Chain A
Amino acid sequence: MIGHRLTLVLLLTAATLPAQDLKEFEKKVTEFTLANGLHFTVVVRHEAPVVSFHTFVNAGSAEDPGGETGLAHMFEHMAFKGTESIGTKNWPAEKKALQDVEDVYDRMEAERNKGPKADQSKIGYFGMQLKQAINVAQSYVESNEYTRIIEENGGAGLNADTSFDYTEYFYSLPSNRIELWFLLESQRFLHPVFREFYQERDVVQEENRMRNQPGSEGELLRDFAATAFEAFPYRNPPGGWPSDVENLRRGMAQAFFDKYYVPANINLAIVGDVDPAQARRLAERYFGPMPARPLPPLVHTVEPAQDGPKTAVVESQSQPLFAAGFKRPGQDDADDPVYEVISLILSGGRTSLLYKGLVQEKKIAIEVEASPAYPSSRYPNLFVIFVAPAVGHTVEENQKALEDLLAGFGAQKIDAETLQRVKTQARAAVIRRLDSNAGLASLLASYYGNYGDWRKLFTQIDDLNKVTAEDVERVARSCFVAQNRTVAFTAAPRRPAAAGAGESRQ
């Protein structure tokens, strides 16, 4: 039997590293920026002959053009498809075949664009031609060669992730193969080929379906964000809306790449058994040829002020789930560390207010978690609390208990002992992540990308330590108000009794 116990999401921080201050750590760090603007952070750790790589691109789904949601994610999938020399049996022939695919697709779209006057039989004919053209292009493909090379060289933890604000690519290799990473990583951003685009689009649709099953937690969170944000692109799922994804074109991915994958918008971190001087030579050699280009624009859309509480309800046959979000400013706001402290007071460990109140004492929830920044942090976002009600207890009951607790929280000062505890925990949580190559590479690249300096990883501990009980009270009082609030929950569907029950049980 596999234990199906629900694991509590507790931030049970295990340990901290008191003496490991910034100065000590800085000795292991080498940084350099190439002439084209590409930035590298290298950390030496000779524990084992392995090395981890992390590429951080300052563009994510928030940068998806209107009507083309899911494009940043689609590009991320394309980045594994190879280059003009990797993944092809005959590049010149494949290049032509890929162009043929686009030409047929253009003709099909031109017909479709006639709207009510479109000739359906022509569209059907072009559809068939498109399939054939795709098959021809496919015949030149050395399938998944790019990833095969990484895997057969011992690549570990190979993956990528598209978030709202950024896209990351990462894996680890035995350290004698460091040059292989330089070659592969530079080539995919120097000479990318968006091959198998339309087959991969189907894969992405399957991925989105998997993550957003009707009535699932995925769908709840999607609707939650779409309700909380009216204008800002955090309202769109990072995987895109299915109808947008269905119409993404190869040219769009190329345009997105040209605009956002410019050297100054990318930074890379290398951690492990590495010689920084060698890393720099290899960086110049392989990434030097990337042309310098201007930085892409920031997102200009500003979310309008919220005028009152909002609610999203998702019909679901599953057990209830509940989320409450409150608008807050972006990560550069001076109060950012205060939100972090509040989230730890509310849900950091078994001593936290929400765990003690809803789970341990009232037993109306089995899981509670607060997140200081959701769904992402760069632009104004949400402070969110997620609740899984216990059997026999409702969303309403939990919502009421949560509101009472938050109201009480904003009405009185937090005691010094609690404040000290969460600061100790926060510090431990940050430092504890430094002990793996892959974790460290991810943090360094992400802090550089987000704040322009990896040192923020350490200085944020000082920022947290400056938070006072007055700060907590002030921010809680202004943030946890109904006008700022969006709640989302799942509810049993309304359906005919006998038919519904019989039908769902066969």
Chain B
Amino acid sequence: MTRLSVLMLLAAGCVAAQVPLPQEPTATPRKSAAAPAPKPAPPPSWKDLVYPPIHAVAIPDVETITLPNGMKLYLLEDHELLLVQGTARIRTGNLFDPPEKIGLATLTGMVLRTGGTRTKTGEQLDKELEDAAASVESSIDEGFGSVSFSCLKENLGEVLADFHDVLIEPEFRQDKLDLARTGMSGGIARRNDEPQGIAEREFTNTVYGKNTPYGWEEEYDTIDRVTRADLASFYRRYFFPANTMLAVWGDFSAPEMKVRLEKLFADWTVEQPPVPAFPPVSAKPAVGTYLASKSDVTQTFFSMGQLGGLLKDKDYPALEIMADILGGGFQSRLFRRVRTEMGNAYEIGADWAANYDHPGLFFISGSTKSVSTVETLRAILEEVERIRSTEVSEEELKTAKDTALNSLVFAFDTKAKTLGRILNYEYYGYPRDFIQQYQRALEAVTRADVLRAAKRYLAPADFTIVAAGNPEQFGQPLSKLGRPVTALDLTIPEPKKQAVQPDAPSLAKGREILARVQRAVGGAGKLAAVKDFTVTQNDRFDPSAGRLDASETDRWIAPSHLRQDSRQASGPISTYCDGKLGWFSSPRGAGPLRGVTLREMRNEVFHVYFSLLLAGAAGANVVAVDDRTVEISAGDGIVRLVIDPATGLPQQLLYDSPQPNGPPKPMEEEYSDFREVNGIQVPFHVTYHLGGKYLAESTVSQFQINTGLQLEDLERRP
């Protein structure tokens, strides 16, 4: 053990520490309250307290060994508790996810343990470990993978054996991949449920760039593509001894543990080429205000800031002091102004969050009631401007330095922390005495340093500001901040339906079925002659659907212009789509179609009876699924059409209906009451089932074809 009295340095930062005091507290005169006194003396002011020097911190030695197979061991004895714990760190990360399979690394990390080993299923491991109140767990995060264990000393043998097996011979059983995917899908579906989560995520991803590994998100599609074979090959590429650091701490003898681990891992001899460097951060400033609208919230959650830096940057200590004075605690400028004085926030803070190996983020985040959004953001920007234009006060500097230096002792309060720090330093190539260097640099920071660093690094004009809230209640628009406002589309992309793989017979049969439908409804020629139509219908919804009954008029002009006007108790609603883009107008507002609503309208265009039945001519894929069903797909549209085997008339249309919350649900349209219009059989009654439950029915009252509709009538907004 080396006894470094690093913390003697800390004492220099504290009040009156220069006064040499005996270490025995009883020797100080002000402790005289112990002596009987008729009247207790009034308590001293906190300013008059004199503190004895702090006891020295014992910094333990960490034994470092490289095994013959290349694996590095870090051993630290800690005999306080009868426990042994360990963690293997592997150089990998979700930064290595292929763009089409984002989530691969995370899934690999989850299923590594849950999917069991060659000799034991995941459930067998669960039972064995839980019987002993022990654990073996695994994960892969952004910049490293971990497999760790924790157990009673007495169970070390069997737990280490399981740990070894999970690390070197995982089986990735399919059922646990499916389970992990279910969990992850739940995470995707729920990611817009909390406005705070939205603000933080959109800020991070926008600053790093949404098309980079630092800023992209897993989606249903990207995790659906991941197979068991992908997990195994991702594992093989990164999990090898020369790429692994194993730290073990607890109640054991280090020389014995070394022998034990060397023997245990002697059979792990796989080799792989060195793992490449992580992709660099390639972000350009995403300047402006980004609005994530959420109509159901009463507060605006915000995150604002910019790209930050590394822990080893020369200016890091000054920047940390700067961020602390700006928004680091109860005494910070933002806390005092926004919380204490304005009463506008409960949580408000700033952080210069530096990373070991890639630029971190500088961010200010918090939440405020909707109506105070703009004034709060403005006050924050003023404070950022102030800290980069004038020096902080001597008092502020002292408070920030004392806070940082005096609390540094907590970095040494357990042996596990010391070991974890050394593991990080080795992993990222930092010197082992980095924290001592940092402490000295912190002590040397001056007011001028803080201003210089703030000036050099903070660029409030280039800030990315993300606000998640309800803009209708902001009181004043976000544009009042004088920065461009961009609306964020939070729509969760739904999984793409896999089209039936066509082969020659199914294609031929598909054409045959389609031709039969065309003949049954009046012939392809009559269908092709439809240039426009106007239909008026009544829509009745099931009470549980939570929708209002409506009378609706749809107008269509070939090939893809569709307008729907509906009247319901709450007022008129109009939507228009040209097949690609469109708009809507309702009593509660108007604007461009986006997300689910846009996809719904594009589906409607694709589903137009006359053009759909001509799909073959329009260049879509038509594939037979069975004797009476064809799958028609074009672009991102995909439907299944079921015909009545007796008449050849269309009977059902099946497709996925996008949902505002969560993945799409299957929609089933059932056609009946066919009547002839311009020589074509048209259904006058449609019944809808959504997700297997009755949803609604539409009854046509009038259907007109080729009345000479004009495009400008469709495009005209109400």
Chain A residues packing against B (C-beta within 8 Å): 1-6, 8, 12-20, 47-50, 80, 85-86, 138, 143-144, 147-149, 151-156, 158, 172, 174-177, 179-180, 183-184, 186-187, 196, 199-207, 209-210, 213-216, 273, 275, 278, 281-282, 284-286, 288-289, 316-319, 348-351, 359-360, 363, 366-367, 388, 390-392, 417, 420-421, 424-425, 427-428, 435-437, 492-506
B217: interface (CB < 8 Å): yes
B268: interface (CB < 8 Å): no
Given contacts A151-B329, A319-B189, contact A503 B346 (CB under 8 A): no
Contact present for B343 and A17 (CB under 8 Å): no
Contact present for A210 and B346 (CB under 8 Å): yes
Contact present for B57 and A48 (CB under 8 Å): yes
With A20-B82, A505-B491 given, name 12 new contacts (CB 8 A): A1-B216, A17-B82, A143-B341, A202-B344, A213-B298, A214-B298, A215-B296, A278-B31, A281-B31, A366-B187, A492-B661, A499-B570
**Chain B residues with CB below 8 A from A417, complex form:** 131
In angstroms, how far is the closest chain A Cβ from the Cβ of B344? 7
Contact present for A154 and B413 (CB under 8 Å): no
16 contacts between A and B (CB under 8 A): A6-B183, A48-B412, A138-B341, A144-B331, A152-B399, A175-B55, A180-B46, A318-B193, A319-B661, A349-B126, A350-B126, A363-B182, A391-B182, A501-B596, A502-B575, A506-B591
Could you say which of B146-154, B436-444, B451-459 contacts chain A? B146-154
**Chain B residues with CB below 8 A from A48, complex form:** 57, 409, 412-414
**Chain A residues with CB below 8 A from B589, complex form:** 502-503, 506
Contact present for A496 and B80 (CB under 8 Å): no
B461: interface (CB < 8 Å): no
Chain B residues packing against A (C-beta within 8 Å): 7, 10-11, 14-15, 25-26, 31, 33-34, 40, 43-46, 49, 51-57, 80-83, 85, 94-95, 97, 102, 106, 110, 114, 122-123, 126-127, 130-135, 137, 141-142, 150-152, 154, 178-179, 182-196, 201, 204-205, 208, 213-218, 293-299, 329-331, 335-336, 339-347, 367-369, 398-399, 402-403, 405-410, 412-414, 487, 489, 491, 541, 545-548, 566, 568, 570, 573, 575, 584, 586-589, 591, 593-597, 600, 660-663
**Chain A residues with CB below 8 A from B53, complex form:** 176
Contact present for A2 and B142 (CB under 8 Å): yes
**Chain A residues with CB below 8 A from B548, complex form:** 496-497
Contact present for A351 and B127 (CB under 8 Å): yes
- Rounded to whole angstroms, the CA-CA distance of A210 and B546 in the bound complex is 28
**Chain A residues with CB below 8 A from B33, complex form:** 281, 284-285, 288
- Rounded to whole angstroms, the CA-CA distance of A501 and B497 in the bound complex is 22
Contact present for B130 and A421 (CB under 8 Å): yes
- Rounded to whole angstroms, the CA-CA distance of A417 and B128 in the bound complex is 11
Contact present for A1 and B178 (CB under 8 Å): no
- Rounded to whole angstroms, the CA-CA distance of A494 and B174 in the bound complex is 39
With most chain B CB atoms within 10 A of its CB, the pick from A186, A425, A496 is A496
**Chain B residues with CB below 8 A from A390, complex form:** 182-183, 185-186
Residue from the list A183, A207, A363 in contact with B49, Cβ < 8 A? A183
Contact present for B661 and A317 (CB under 8 Å): yes
**Chain B residues with CB below 8 A from A200, complex form:** 340, 343
With most chain B CB atoms within 10 A of its CB, the pick from A14, A15, A49, A499 is A15
In angstroms, how far is the closest chain B Cβ from the Cβ of A318? 4
**Chain B residues with CB below 8 A from A16, complex form:** 133, 152
- Rounded to whole angstroms, the CA-CA distance of A428 and B575 in the bound complex is 61
- Rounded to whole angstroms, the CA-CA distance of A174 and B405 in the bound complex is 11
**Chain B residues with CB below 8 A from A316, complex form:** 296
- Rounded to whole angstroms, the CA-CA distance of A54 and B201 in the bound complex is 35
**Chain A residues with CB below 8 A from B44, complex form:** 183
- Rounded to whole angstroms, the CA-CA distance of A14 and B410 in the bound complex is 23
- Rounded to whole angstroms, the CA-CA distance of A141 and B600 in the bound complex is 58
Residue from the list A6, A143, A424 in contact with B186, Cβ < 8 A? A6
